[in-house]
Amino acid sequence: MLRLFMYKFRKAAQTADMRRGWICAAMALFLGVAAVIGGTKVSARAEEVAIDCKAACLMDDASGVQMFGKSETARLPIASMCKIMTLLLAFEEADAGRLNYEEEITVSERAAGMGGSQVFLGAGLCYPVGQLLKSIVVCSANDSCVAIAERIAGSESAFCEKMNARAKQLGAENTLFANCTGLPKETQYSCAKDVALMLRELLRHEKYHEYARIWLEDFTHPDGRTTQMTNTNKLIRLYDGCDGGKTGFTNEAGFCLACSAKRGEMRVISVVIGSETSKTRFLAATTLLDYAFDNFESITYLSAGTPLETLLSVRGSRIKEVALAPKTTLSALKRRGTEEHYDVSVMTEPLRAPVAKGEIIGQAILTRDGVEIARTDLVSCDEAPAYTWWDAYREEANRWNIA
């Protein structure tokens, strides 16, 4: 039987206070909440946002709720915004220990010969992974993209297979990659909503933010040459709170931009595809960001990695209790001036050793006025090994006061 706890949160429109409490319903079955999932989109009124582009998407980073869309699922070329997925796979490889930022990559003739935006890598020269990734983030270097793709997958085409597989995992249903750079290719497309999903995942990587903050820096080559890198995302300097993004342009795609900005606890993702000029894409993106910060607030109820207030009992181990924490942040987006009520339900089963640190041991579910809007796995913060023979003897000895 499942154990159900209700972690209560009440939020009124005019106050930022949250009241918390645990209500335990012993040996209760959880019914009904998982049947309905809502709250993934908040529609803007047409007169509220006017932007000049083919497609756009505005998304809350924490909850994934869409605040505005304009042809957001239309399949379009996205130019260098493809590099968001290239970077995501590279940072995930580094997190998994399969790629090291200090590792040096020997650049192939093909990588060095890429056109478009580049840092003019020398064929046969060796460059650190971190330096190549930095050049992709800051100045959209096509040559560095191919060098990274060949290191990770052996070839760019094999890397594209990984890109498409990862896109499917993220729920990017209107995306197909044919290269890792975004250079024009007929079979390649994405949409504003999918780009927002990809950037949202990339923003989870702190190393990305370290590079994204750079405005101007020299790229030093092993042969003594230097190439000056300038950040293509002007909003890093011009928009308050902008902390990431990726530009793109081809004649086919027009001027594109995916960017993020954070103010207080709220981070917002803005994606614009197919503006007529560079100026109009930045104007469209900032219009969307301003709209989000003016009209919405993001409220976090459980933070990823932060232990809950209650411990969970464990049987069959000398460790009697373990802490549990949400795997991902549980948050909600609401319009300013509205009154909504939220509950967090925590579901667990009786635990028996062994329990590994990081093991999934339950779920937390966020509901708004009785309707589920989000959920996350709960993981163990501690390790609880099973009893050894000696552990069992000592516990029994202590129980009977045996010296």
Where in the sequence numbering do the catalytic residues fall?
Answer: 80, 83, 140
3-class SS of residue 176? strand
Cβ proximity of 338 and 369 under 8 Å:
no
User: Going by C-beta distance under 8 Å and a sequence separation of 6 or more, which residues neighbour residue 15?
Assistant: none
Cβ proximity of 195 and 84 under 8 Å:
yes
3-class SS of residue 324? strand
Beta strands in 107-220 (DSSP E): 126-128, 216-220
C-alpha span between 385 and 333 (Å, rounded):
40
C-alpha span between 233 and 213 (Å, rounded):
10
Q: Which residues pair with 347 in a beta bridge?
A: 4, 363
Q: At what angle do helices 192-202 and 83-95 cross, to 10 degrees?
A: 30
